[in-house]
């Protein structure tokens, strides 16, 4: 039905609030090198233009792409639904792939904060679509890591000729244990290597509409060490690229199966076989055997994108549910239920429906603030000179700390809250008349790929906190303490700040308890890390919502109409989150402090 095809409800007003009121990128990012070409007016125009494309065109392919199967021919070529190809062409024809590319590569020079705001719009409108533009990510990666000849050979071609791209890590027997991969690389002379092996779950490993697809592949050179340190990263194109940039013959990499999935069905999740039918030739990236470190530049982009996809899906699901509850009439007001003649009311007037709506609103807006907080930190990394620049290192470490929260928390919590979105529709939400059932199917993958939630939680605890002695964590908590000390929002936000302060103390207690328990056994991390991740994420979200509420309280008196309603909603979301979510940190602290290892002693037969 038309309501499904035009499903997408964006929240451009809240995106603008986060970027230009909460984080004020007009002063902190735009106009500063390397983002000197874009000012606030052009950024706002760009977001408005992309929002129009997403709501009026890209969203129209959402349902058709889900219900029209992908096909795989005998030559390893995947054909996409026509609606999806139309969406791809509309995006490229509008030059949107150039938004965040640097000017020297023919781009518009937007900062990461704009890149990720734009990605929210695209992934919310059509979850399967956004990752088909992964070639542009690879162009940026190769521009930074490739040799001079590799850049000449690939970067401009990817951008100008709209080539696709994929990241190729997972193997059937290795799964998330990337270091157990068996794919081999053999040096055959000069700069050329031959790759042999089978990879699985490769997002958009093949698809029509792109004349070439460039794969970044992790493989183990002959004689290299076992584990992740023995892996190197190779550029393996579908069609060989000659030294002058022209296309050569079909390379020996083929899609040999398309996974049949619960959701994101229009995303070609491929089994890729290298070197079976003919040699699969590749080039060592940057001429350096540094594969896992290089690949993490790609993985970090993917994890950020997955977290934003989850947040965006929850946001549009909430706004669809909100619209439905304002129209659906059922049951009397609870205060007048005893009177059988009482008029029936719209379900948004029922307390339980309001509870479900506010839970979705507060989390969706809080997750957006979290994601864009990480994005503006990425702006600062680039402004300060990049990952390896001395002045940028502390900011870069903060970005590293935030990524597990963005990916792990948003993907896990969004799936839980999408159940509330569907619940608001009642039985109708279970039907394809409304988009929520597809939202749930399309979103669930987010807590599984690019590192499961628990992988994110262990990454947070071991690599992002323990590895640097908690310095980056303490710097982040210091920002929260500064907000509390400034008493933002004045008297209007006393309750919110009190609850935030208590949650801060509990999260500090959680990390203190965990550091002590790891001396007993690392099993404590295995049992509790997900709780640690959720508690820190909710603390940061609560902090950002309080800051947002303080801004809203200042602007409320000078606003009217839709703007007054918007700022009132910001304050309500902060109040609800602080009162209903932050107190769970107290329980989590008690559970962790009292946690034991008895579960690990339960015999398997007892499960």
Residues labelled as active-site residues: 450
3-class secondary structure, 162: coil
Greatest alpha-carbon span in the chain: 87
User: In sequence order, which residues have a C-beta less than 8 Å from that of residue 409 and are 6 or more positions away?
Assistant: 307, 367, 370, 533, 534, 537, 538
Cα 445 versus chain centre, distance? 12
User: What whole-number distance in Å separates Cα of residue 412 and Cα of residue 109?
Assistant: 33
Instruction: Choose among 214, 192, 368: nearest CA to 287.
Output: 192
3-class secondary structure, 595: coil
**Could you tell me whether strands 269-274 and 253-258 are parallel, antiparallel, or unpaired per DSSP bridges?**
antiparallel
User: What whole-number distance in Å separates Cα of residue 282 and Cα of residue 219?
Assistant: 11
**CA distances for 392 relative to 33, 377, 379, 439, 468, angstroms:** 14, 10, 11, 38, 16
Instruction: Choose among 295, 473, 307: nearest CA to 401.
Output: 473
User: What whole-number distance in Å separates Cα of residue 21 and Cα of residue 369?
Assistant: 11
Instruction: Choose among 369, 298, 277, 355: nearest CA to 321.
Output: 355
Give counts: helices (H), strands (E), the chain.
Answer: 20, 14
**199 CB burial (10 A radius; 0-12, 13-18, 19+):** buried
User: What whole-number distance in Å separates Cα of residue 92 and Cα of residue 90?
Assistant: 6
The strand ranges marked E within 253-402 are 253-258, 269-274, 280-284, 329-332, 344-346
User: What whole-number distance in Å separates Cα of residue 309 and Cα of residue 134?
Assistant: 14
Peptide bond into 228 cis (omega under 30): no
């Amino acid at each position: 039905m038309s309501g499904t095809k035009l499903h997408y409800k964006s929240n451009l007003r809240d995106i603008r609030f986060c970027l230009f009121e909460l984080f004020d990128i007009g002063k902190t990012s735009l106009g500063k090198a390397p983002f000197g070409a874009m000012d606030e007016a052009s950024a706002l125009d760009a977001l408005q233009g992309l929002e129009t494309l997403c709501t009026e065109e890209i969203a129209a392919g959402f349902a058709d792409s889900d219900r029209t199967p992908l096909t795989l021919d005998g030559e390893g070529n995947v054909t996409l639904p026509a609606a999806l190809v139309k969406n791809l062409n509309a995006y490229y024809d509008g030059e949107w792939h150039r938004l965040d590319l640097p000017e020297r590569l023919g781009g518009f020079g937007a900062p990461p904060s704009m890149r990720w705001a734009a990605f929210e719009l695209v992934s919310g409108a059509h979850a399967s679509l956004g990752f088909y533009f992964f070639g542009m990510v690879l162009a940026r990666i190769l521009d930074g890591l490739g040799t001079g000849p590799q850049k000449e050979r690939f970067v401009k071609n990817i951008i100008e000729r709209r080539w696709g791209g994929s990241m190729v890590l997972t193997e059937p027997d290795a799964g998330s244990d990337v270091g157990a991969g068996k794919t081999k690389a053999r040096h055959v002379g000069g700069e050329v290597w031959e790759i042999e092996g089978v990879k699985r779950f490769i997002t958009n490993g093949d698809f029509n509409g792109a004349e070439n697809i460039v794969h970044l592949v992790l493989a183990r050179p002959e004689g290299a060490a076992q584990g992740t340190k023995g892996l190197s990263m190779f550029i393996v194109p579908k069609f060989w690229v000659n030294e002058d940039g022209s296309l050569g013959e079909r390379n020996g990499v083929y899609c040999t199966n398309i996974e049949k999935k619960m959701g994101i069905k229009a995303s070609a999740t491929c089994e890729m076989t290298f070197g079976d039918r003919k040699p699969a030739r590749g080039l060592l990236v940057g001429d350096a055997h540094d594969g896992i470190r290089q690949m993490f530049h790609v993985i970090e982009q993917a994890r950020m994108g997955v977290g934003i996809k989850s947040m965006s899906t929850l946001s549009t699901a909430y706004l669809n549910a909100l619209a439905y509850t304002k129209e659906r009439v059922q049951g009397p007001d609870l205060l007048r239920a005893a009177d059988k003649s009482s008029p029936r009311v719209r379900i948004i007037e029922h307390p339980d429906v309001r509870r479900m709506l506010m839970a979705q609103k507060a989390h969706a807006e809080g997750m957006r603030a979290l994601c864009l907080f990480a994005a503006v930190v990425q702006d600062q990394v680039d402004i300060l000179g990049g990952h390896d620049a001395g002045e940028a290192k502390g900011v870069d470490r903060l970005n590293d700390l935030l990524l597990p929260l963005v990916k792990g928390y948003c993907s896990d919590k969004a799936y839980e809250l999408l159940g509330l979105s569907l619940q608001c529709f009642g039985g109708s939400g279970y039907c394809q008349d409304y988009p929520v059932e597809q939202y749930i199917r399309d979103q669930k993958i987010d807590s599984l790929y690019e590192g499961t939630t628990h992988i994110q939680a262990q990454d947070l605890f071991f690599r992002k906190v323990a590895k640097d002695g908690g310095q980056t964590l303490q710097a982040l908590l210091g920002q929260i303490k500064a907000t509390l000390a400034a008493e933002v929002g004045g008297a209007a936000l006393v309750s919110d700040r009190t609850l935030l302060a208590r949650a801060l103390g509990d999260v500090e207690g959680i990390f203190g308890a965990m550091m002590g328990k790891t001396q007993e056994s690392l099993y404590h991390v295995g049992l509790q890390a997900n709780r640690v991740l959720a508690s820190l994420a909710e603390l940061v979200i609560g902090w950002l919502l309080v800051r947002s509420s303080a801004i809203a309280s200042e602007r409320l008196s000078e606003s009217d109409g839709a703007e007054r309603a918007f700022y009132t909603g910001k304050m309500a979301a902060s109040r609800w989150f602080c009162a209903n979510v932050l107190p769970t940190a107290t329980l989590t602290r008690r559970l962790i402090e009292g946690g034991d290892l008895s579960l690990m002693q339960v015999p398997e037969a007892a499960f």
